[in-house]
Structure 1
Amino acid sequence: MDLLPPKPAQVATAASNVAHKLLYGGLADLRPMPRTLIDDGELREVYHYRPAAKATESGDPVLLVTPLAAPAICFDLRRGCSLVEHFVTQGRPTYLVEYGEVSFKNRSLGMEHWVDEVVPEAIKTVSEHAGGRPVHLVGWSLGGIFALLSAADQPNLPIGSITVVGSPIDVRKVPLMAPVRPLLNLNFTEGGGLVTRGYQAMGGIPKPLVNWAFQMSSVQKLITKPLAVATHLDDTEFLAQLEAVDRFSANMIAYPGRTFGQLYHRMVKGNALAKGSMTFGDRTIQFSAIKAPVLVFGGATDGIAPVKAVKAVVPLLTGSTEVRFEIVPGGHLGMLTGRAARTSTWPVMDEWIDQWSTPAAKKKSPAAKKPAAKKKAADREAIGANPHRRYGSAGSRSLGR
């Protein structure tokens, strides 16, 4: 529906959408995919998604790695736009690691907790639960950084491949940080800067501030949202996606104090990851130690993790079996679970996981049986060669190692 006189069919659809929104609570199908808790620990919950009714679960397992502060529904946004649903209905063994609610008592936990314990333990649990198979990691945002650091620190973990979605490595290439960068090194008191004193006093960054920061990262969309809704009243899919994103942004989780301090001082101020390493105590973890193949996604309109900030990891992965970079449509969340992701990001993931699955798993993989997979070997080697993808090979890099 646009600003021109609407057609009768548009009016009818718009009226139906408004009625559903007002009378039935909304248009989006927000039912979560059924899952079972298989392991837990301090800020660690590992879930196995139950196989779909008409799907036979087989092949190597996929482990979805949640970022800090964001709710795990990033992977299961709504029916029809759920990466979990996509994998489960294909018959892939699908798992998730999330962290639960962060409270003041967790303020002393640093990034080491996730890099040393949470992610490695989740990988081992999933591999064992799936019969000893290698695990294919899919990490979004900070979850991708956790996956990379864990794989670099423990190269012998049973990892089949790593997929990194929208993970900013070179923070200096994030335009959103440019206005505040001159303030980062200011010291207002002997006890440290205002930001440092603030998160130390609060024991971290509480949920309301995290929610506000996420909304401010897309302030332009926030301002234009009423007009967008008014001009899309007849677009059920658009309105349903908007509802799902609103629920996502309303369910942010707090940052533990020490972890936020490390992110702030080392990644934001020091830009440590751009050098390919992170130091914890007396050890330094190098991205070059990663052996597993790595697929990296950058979102074409991602303001939080722009393409250049994400792509910076590619030359650092010198020890990886293979590294591939792909530009896909969408912003920070949209590239993972937006409407366009269904025909761009997800098919690339399917190809990548099939490529690096064990031989027995390849034969059983539902994705491998699709017509799109029956291409020449030369085409399969080029990640941008899928003719059904929004973005072609011009936006891709394939680096054979």
Structure 2
Amino acid sequence: MDLIPTPDQVVSAAGNVAHTLLYGGLADLRPMPRTLIDDGELREVYHYRPAKGVEETGDPVLLVTPLAAPALCFDLRRDCSLVEHLVAQGRPTYLVEYGQVSFKNRALGVEHWVDEVLPEAVRTVHEHSGSRGVHLVGWSLGGIFAMLVAADRNDLPIASLTVIGSPVDVTKVPLVAPVRPLLNLTQGRGAITRAYRALGGVPVPLVNWAFTAASAQKLVTKPLAVLTHLDDTDYLAQLEAVTRFMSSMTAYPGRTFGQLYHRFVKGNALATGRMEVGDRTIDLAAITVPVLVFAGNTDGIAPLPAVRAVVPLLSGSEQVRFEVVPGGHLGMLTGRAARGTTWTVIDEWVAAWSGRAPAAQEKAARKAPARKTGAKKAPAKKAPAKKAPAKKAPAKKTAAKKTSAKKAASAGAIGTNPTRRYGSAGSRALGPR
């Protein structure tokens, strides 16, 4: 709104104030309708119902929520919901979330999500969608979980991976970097460790406080922002939806928080590309599927350098693409600008890598002909007269190899759009390695 508002701005501002007072807000906070298709311990897999008059087509997308943050991150409000956007296009859309964490879940570690929750969700979506490849889209810690699973389980039917605002090098996070030396002085016996062990995790009030502290500057300037945007209905609706999101945090299980705190925050383990999970070490270089990485240009929780650090670690991926988009940690995913930036790139990426058999199925298909060919060789030895047609088999194999070689060559160009930039020279596509 202008310093001296115009008559139209005054009318709009008055209408917004009146609507808020009469109806309690401006945002349409109705959730997108969904159906529970699978559940387990801290695992709920939902399928979003197709939009009226729209038929579901193509490969499914599985949205992976982080711990503590609610699934509202993907379905913030109507007209600004990634779920609504995908469903409106007819894209089969699924989500995995974890429900309410309680004291009884305190012994669950990171391996629960990497070994059970996410793999089971991928298998469920694969079967429910008609055995199609699954495109994982993970935000924040959800993106890190998705990368760990893709690196650890190349037998899963994962078609592609999209990572949004997931910091890998914690030393490049301004909120954490200054205190890391102090954390290391306690050698795992400090007040934080004693506190989360006694509480069985990190309760909701502390999670809310942490997120609030991370966005303290925005909270201080919020009253002024509201006054200067009283005539902007969309802005006020977004602010209202974000406020609801911030008040809907969930708790962290004790052991999981301890692993993330000691290995991820204090140890900065993922900066090397390797992290201990359960009884093994997972290496991000083992990811073979295409990976799309997003960083927000004003993200304070996962700043650009902390996110971009993952790119050289994905040396085994078929293709890695790095994009810088407008917005902070939540805004880059579901802010008003995301509708024309982040979501557009996700649409292109999923479409480009759709329709291919998942890696696990391709391996099985390659093994099957080998066993059949071996079975046909036995009768060829007994009947010398049939040796002539048997010689044609190598020719067929050569043709098959040429066809696969052409596909591999063309795959390198998929998902690249050198003409799009969002005001940052950091957005680029990286070819196969």
Shared fold per TM-score greater than 0.5: yes
Distance 1:391 1:87 in 2: 25
Contact kept in structure 2, 1:297 and 1:327, CA below 8 Å? yes
SS at match of 2:263: helix
Preserved contact between residue 324 and residue 383 of structure 1 (Cα < 8 Å): no
Cα 1:312/1:43, change in 2 over 3 Å: same
Aligned to 2:146: 147
Match of 1:31 in 2: 30
Corresponding letter in the other structure for 2:419: A
Counterpart of 2:228 in structure 1 is 231
Q: 1:384 offset after TM fit, Å?
A: 4.2
**In the TM superposition, what are the counterparts of 1:366-377 in structure 2 within 5 Å?**
none
Which whole-Å CA distance do the structure 1 matches of 2:425 and 2:131 have between them? 35
1:395 aligns with 2:427: yes
Which stretches in structure 1 are left out of the alignment for 5+ residues? 361-376
The 5-angstrom pairing of residues 103-252 of structure 1 reads 103-187=102-186, 192-252=189-249
Counterpart residue type for residue 255 of structure 1: Y
Q: Could you tell me whether the CA contact under 8 Å between 2:412 and 2:431 is conserved in 1?
A: no
| Aligned: 1:89 with 2:121 | no
How far apart, in 2, do the equivalents of 1:399 and 1:359 lie? Answer: 19
Give distance in 2, aligned partners of 1:359 and 1:111: 31
Asked whether the 8 Å contact 2:348–2:415 carries over to 1, the reply is no
More helix by share: 2
Match of 1:278 among 255, 263, 275: 275
The CA distance in 1 between the partners of 2:60 and 2:22, in whole Å, is 41
Q: Percent identity?
A: 72
Counterparts of 1:214 and 1:251 in 2: how far apart (Å)?
11
Across the two proteins, how many residue pairs are aligned to each other? 381
1:298 corresponds, among 295, 315, 327, to 295
Matched-pair contact (CA < 8 Å) for 2:413–2:431: no
CA contact (8 A) 1:293 1:323 kept: yes
Q: How far is 1:396 from its partner?
A: 2.0
**What are the equivalent positions in structure 2 for 1:323-342 lying under 5 Å apart?**
323-342=320-339
Contact kept, 8 Å, 1:343 with 1:390, in 2: the verdict is no
Deviation at 1:283, TM superposition (A): 1.0
Q: 2:419 aligns with which of 370, 375, 385?
A: 385
Secondary structure class of the residue paired with 1:324: strand
For residue 204 of structure 1, report the CA deviation from its aligned partner: 0.5
Q: Deviations over 1:44-72 (max 9, x none)?
A: 00000000002110110000000000000
CA contact (8 A) 2:170 2:177 kept: no
User: Is the 8 Å Cα contact of residues 317 and 432 (structure 2) preserved in structure 1?
Assistant: no
From 346, 349, 352, the equivalent of 1:349 is: 346
State the TM-score, normalizing by the size of structure 1. 0.92
Alignment partner of 1:179: what SS? helix
Q: Deviations over 1:222-244 (max 9, x none)?
A: 10000000111001010000000
- 2:305 is equivalent to residue 320 of structure 1: no
Residue 255 (str. 1) matches residue 252 (str. 2): yes
- Letter of the 1:38 partner, please give it: I
Distance 2:418 2:206 in 1: 39
CA distance in structure 2 between the partners assigned to 1:378 and 1:162 by the alignment: 16
Contact 2:29/2:241 (8 A) holds in 1: yes
Question: Amino acid of the residue matched to residue 318 of structure 2?
Answer: T
1:45 and 2:44 aligned = yes
Residue 287 to residue 20, structure 1, CA distance change in 2 (3 Å): same
Q: 1:359 to 1:116 in 2, by over 3 A?
A: closer
The ranges of structure 1 where at least 4 consecutive aligned residues each deviate by more than 3 angstroms after the TM superposition are 377-381, 389-394
Uncovered stretches (5+) of structure 2, i.e. residues with no partner: 358-410
> Would the aligned equivalents of 2:175 and 2:301 in 1 still touch at CA under 8 Å?
yes
SS in 2 for 1:295: strand
What is the Cα deviation at residue 23 of structure 1? 1.2
Counterpart-to-counterpart distance in 1, 2:83 and 2:65? 12
Contact 2:349 2:415 in 1 (8 A): no
CA RMSD of aligned residues (A): 1.8
